Amino acid sequence: MNICMISYWSCPLTPTGVLTAGGMNIYVINLVNNLGKLGHNVDVYTRVHSQKDEKILTGNKNVRIIHLDSGKLGNYKQFALKVEKFIKKEDINYDIIHAHYYFSGLVAIQIKNKLKIPLITTFHSLEIAKEVYVGKKNKSRKKNERKVVEKSDGIIASTELEKVDLIKTYGAYNHKIFIVSPGVNHHLFFPRNKIFSRLKLKLPLKKEIILFVGRIDPIKGLSVLIEAIGKLTRLYPSFSKKFRVLLIGGDIENRKFWENSEVKKIRRLIKEKELECCIHFIGSKPHSKLPYYYSAADITVLPSLYESFGLVILEAMACGCAVIASKTGGMKYIIRDGESGRFFRNNDMEELSLVLWELLHDKKYLLELGKNAIGESLNYCWDKQSQKVVKVYKKFGSN
């Protein structure tokens, strides 16, 4: 198949945790690479995010990343015109369009109407979730999501929960929705030796290491983790000498990162709790290095107020790291509580502190969770998930 992939919101090559780059970027790049391996031709259309960008990047087999300059973020109509112009100039015939996030869906609707080809959309996150879990309302986004739902020929949802939201809130037809969970690249994410990983990353050998990976965004619930750590250091003063919390995410070399309101809030909280010695922003890391961080860590925590799926947790599990996550969104489908990881109540720092303390003082249980997590992660291998996506394509596009 010839596949037109739209990733307007952010380029899938942008380092995770920088700007708008998050789990969606990892999803897109892994999906297209696996589609290429399966023999399909994939063009990913995305915005120029740096003046250094080459217009067309050819990397993995059968895959091209095409950067188009459309001006200010949000000018999706201009971007759609640029895509149409490129397709016409190159004389490309696509079998299907796959849009990622609602902004890409808006772009894809215009292209679909011109080219008369089917549109599949993966939303990755929905406005209704932010309304429920963060209390923020964006009527314009919700309206546009409804439009994309209506105009899409098929929708790929990550979980049954997302399917329910699409039907109840946006009026999606049941027959248009196909559940295909995201995957993890087991060729990259597998366990490394802990001591070797810490030496490689120049991390302390004798400290307990707690890891957070993600964008520094209010919905990620990072303040819940800081509050939980703060409580443990108050109750057990010696604890502060035994642990380190590493926060992976964000362009720490950029002044704008430190001016971000959420970053300022987290830094104030760290200072108030007198945890500057123990909690460190270490910035975004190349995806190829993350397996070493997961392998070096004792625990990976994802305290999000909401996660549509939770790819960070899946990556950590594939590396044999014990995981703790808030029981919300798609994470409920990945972890078997008490067997392959632990949950805590959403936004409950008291319970998170208890779970952290329990795991850090039961090494045998910690190792057992990590071992079980590896087996659980094998249910979400990208090699398998990409084939499921192709089956959805074939219901609408030509072979």
Residue type, 304: S
- What pLDDT does 131 receive? 86
Band (11; pLDDT cuts 50, 70, 90): confident
Does 64 fall in a domain?
Answer: yes
Contact 189, 321 (CB under 8 A): no
| Judgement on whether residues 239 and 299 belong to the same structural domain of the protein | yes
The token duo for 274 is 């007198």
Q: Is 216 exposed, middle or buried (0-12, 13-18, 19+ CB in 10 A)?
A: buried
**pLDDT value at position 170?**
96
In this structure, are 285 and 388 located in the same domain?
no
Angstrom CA distances, 66 to 6, 13, 49, 70, 247, stand at 10, 11, 12, 12, 32
The mean pLDDT of 176-183, rounded to a whole number, is 96
Take residue 62 and report the two structure tokens written for it: 């059968």
Judgement on whether residues 386 and 361 belong to the same structural domain of the protein: no
Amino acid at 325: A
One domain, residues 76 and 213? no
Distance CA 336, CA 127 (A): 27
Task: Report CA-CA distances (Å) from 70 to 15, 45, 73, 102, 148.
Answer: 21, 11, 8, 17, 21
Whether residues 385 and 373 share a domain: the answer is no
pLDDT band at 135 (very low <50, low <70, confident <90, very high): confident
Using the predicted structure, report yes or no on whether residue 61 has a pLDDT greater than 90. Answer: no
Report residue 154's pLDDT band, with 50, 70 and 90 as the boundaries: very high
pLDDT reading at 324 higher than 80? yes
The arithmetic mean of pLDDT across residues 10-20, rounded, is: 69
Rounded to an integer, what distance in angstroms lies between the CA atom of residue 379 and that of residue 314?
Answer: 10
179 and 262 in a single domain? The answer is no
User: What pLDDT, on the 0 to 100 scale, is given for residue 75?
Assistant: 86
Q: How far is Cα 24 from Cα 227, in angstroms, rounded to an integer?
A: 28
**In terms of domains, do 120 and 245 share one?**
no
User: Distance between CA atoms of 83 and 164, rounded to whole angstroms?
Assistant: 33
Q: What is the pLDDT of residues 331-366, one digit of tens each?
A: 989 999 999 999 999 999 999 999 999 999 999 999
Per-residue confidence band for 313, with pLDDT thresholds at 50, 70 and 90: very high
Q: Looking at per-residue confidence, does 306 or 148 come out higher?
A: 148
99-125: per-residue pLDDT in tens?
A: 999 999 999 999 999 999 999 999 999
364 within some domain? yes
In a domain, 188, yes or no: no
Question: Both tokens of residue 193?
Answer: 């030796």
pLDDT at site 89: 94
- Nearest 5°: the CA angle 72, 76, 78 is 80
Residue 115 within a domain: yes
Q: Pick the most confident of 20-24, 133-137, 348-352.
A: 348-352
Q: What is the pLDDT of residues 207-255, one digit of tens each?
A: 999 999 998 989 999 999 999 999 999 999 888 889 999 999 988 998 9
In the chain, the number of structural domains is 2
- Answer yes or no: is pLDDT of 52 > 80: no
Residues 6+ apart with CB under 8 A from 256: none
Mean pLDDT across 297-320: 95
Q: Does 369 lie in the same domain as 392?
A: no
pLDDT over 80 (residue 20): no
d(C-alpha 354, C-alpha 313), whole Å? 20
Whether residue 15 has pLDDT greater than 70:
no
Tell whether 231 and 101 lie within a shared domain.
Answer: no
285 part of a folded domain: yes
Residue 189 within a domain: no
Give the domain extent around 37: 2-183+381-396
| pLDDT band, very low/low/confident/very high, at 146 (cuts 50, 70, 90) | very high
Shared-domain flag, residues 298 and 330? yes
Specify the DSSP class assigned to residue 333: G
Do residue 74 and residue 207 come from a single domain?
Answer: no
145-159 average pLDDT score: 97
Are residue 249 and residue 270 in the same domain, yes or no?
Answer: yes
Q: Distance between CA 16 and CA 248 in Å, rounded?
A: 9
- DSSP labels, 111-135: HHHHHT--EEEE-SS-HHHHHHHT-
On whether residue 139 sits in a domain, the answer given is yes
Instruction: Give me the residue label for tokens 């502060």.
Output: 240
The per-residue pLDDT of the chain, averaged, comes to 93
Determine the pLDDT at residue 37: 95
| Beta bridge partners of residue 280, listed in sequence order | 246
| Angstrom distance (rounded) from CA 300 to CA 294 | 7
Is the confidence at residue 18, as pLDDT, over 70? no
> pLDDT category, 372, cuts 50, 70, 90?
very high
Whichever domain contains 207, its CATH number is: 3.40.50.2000
